[in-house]
Copies of this chain bind each other. A is one copy, B any other.
Amino acid sequence: MTRIPSEVLRIADDIRSMRIRGAGRIARAAAEALMIAATNYSGEDLGDFTRYMEDVSRLLLSTRPTAVSLPNAVSYVMKQLRKDYRGVEDARAAVISAARSFIEHSKRAVEAISIIGSRMIKGGETIVTHCNSSAVTGILAKAWSDGKMFRVYATETRPRFQGYITARDLASKGIPVTLIPDSAAVYAMRRADLVIVGADAISSNGALVNKIGTSQIALAAKAHGVPFYVAAETYKFSPYTLIGEPIEIEEREAEEVIHPVPEGIEVRNPVFDATPAEYIDAIITEIGVISPEMAIIIITDYLGHRVSVDMLKSLEDSEPL
């Protein structure tokens, strides 16, 4: 059996050790690893090539079992191997081409989202955002540079105050921005025309997993009839949820909330929460503006994930995802 190239092993280790982090960077690194593996394959047998590539895929997938973009990159590239090729050369070319396409596409996703999202801003709006999302600030910066006037309420986003980054970023571009405590979301919503937030992951039934507090902003938006938009690259759509795996809601250390933690007081510090699809008016992706309920189409048709009983059963036999 062909050995996995050391460069690929290094990339896998970098993902595992979190030297490579961030949904986009992880995804592109995995695609690049597949491209390198295909390039380095020296055999002549198509079946062997396929098994070899599957080994590489498994290796990559094992590095961060909960990273949502990793399986998307692998699946996007590997679905090319399902077709009938005349030989290794054709298969290799298909894999390399798919990997390049994914990398290119992924790199330009935020740019595409910025262009699309900016068109949804007419000018004159008051816009609420939460936490810090490059897709959201991309949209706002693009709309502002297109000459549209608007103002933004940014929540401070306890406990880590990522809203400060958003506020500073927007202010540096000259966009009028108002920082508010998280608890003033209803106050802002009474004045708002639009909410735009980013995404950590989107499940196959369209639920949004994003920074803690997002779901109450969604509740406030619904109560005031304010449209609620999400900006999300397609590699944020979770293929695990397609097969029932819940998106893990990480909890961070109590000291982020209060330091030191007073005796006798428990502290919970969940990082994310889930906002059901019914609260989301649209998701702005690089392939267009969609309903959240369309999430499964992104996962299956665009990203290439499929379910079968055999796959499910082998999943059962292996270690938990």
Q: Is the CB of A212 within 8 A of B183?
A: yes
Q: Is the CB of B205 within 8 A of A184?
A: no
Return the CB mask of A148-190 against B: 1 if under 8 Å, else 0.
0000000111110000100110011010111111111111011
Q: CB-CB < 8 A to A250: which residues of B?
A: none
Report if A1 contacts B (CB, 8 A).
Answer: no
Q: Is the CB of A246 within 8 A of B286?
A: no
Report if A44 contacts B (CB, 8 A).
Answer: no
Known: A278-B278, A290-B296, A291-B205. A307 touches B116 (CB 8 A): yes
Q: Which residues, 66 to 97 on A, are CB-close (under 8 Å) to B?
A: none
Instruction: Give the segment of A12-20, A33-41, A269-277 that binds chain B.
Output: A269-277
Q: Is the CB of A116 within 8 A of B312?
A: yes
Instruction: Give the segment of A22-30, A46-54, A57-65, A213-221 that binds chain B.
Output: A213-221
Q: CB-CB < 8 A to A219: which residues of B?
A: 186, 216, 219-220, 223
> In chain B, what residue has the closest Cβ to A131?
B183
Q: CB-CB < 8 A to A118: which residues of B?
A: 244
Report if A115 contacts B (CB, 8 A).
Answer: yes
> In chain B, what residue has the closest Cβ to A277?
B291
Q: CB-CB < 8 A to A268: which residues of B?
A: 178-180, 184, 187
Q: CB-CB < 8 A to A316: which residues of B?
A: 115
Give complex CA distance A40, B202 in Å.
Answer: 49
Report if A132 contacts B (CB, 8 A).
Answer: no
Give complex CA distance A295, B310 in Å.
Answer: 24
Give complex CA distance A115, B318 in Å.
Answer: 14
Return the CB mask of A212-250 against B: 1 if under 8 Å, else 0.
110110011001110100000000000001111110000
Q: CB-CB < 8 A to A177: which residues of B?
A: 264-266
Q: CB-CB < 8 A to A225: which residues of B?
A: 189-190, 223-225
Return the CB mask of A286-321 against B: 1 if under 8 Å, else 0.
111111111111011000001111001101100000
Q: Is the CB of A181 within 8 A of B158?
A: yes
Q: Is the CB of B307 within 8 A of A287?
A: yes
Report if A119 contacts B (CB, 8 A).
Answer: yes
> In chain B, what residue has the closest Cβ to A262?
B168
Q: CB-CB < 8 A to A122: which residues of B?
A: 246
Q: Which of B184, B264, B266, B307 contacts A213 (CB 8 A)?
A: B184
Report if A45 contacts B (CB, 8 A).
Answer: no
Q: Is the CB of A178 within 8 A of B265?
A: yes
Report if A282 contacts B (CB, 8 A).
Answer: yes
Q: CB-CB < 8 A to A300: which residues of B?
A: 288
Known: A289-B204, A307-B288. A116 touches B243 (CB 8 A): yes
Give complex CA distance A223, B70 in Å.
Answer: 34
Known contacts A111-B309, A174-B264, A219-B220; 17 additional CB pairs below 8 A are A115-B243, A158-B182, A168-B265, A178-B268, A182-B213, A183-B211, A183-B212, A184-B268, A186-B273, A189-B225, A223-B225, A225-B225, A243-B289, A278-B278, A288-B296, A291-B293, A293-B294
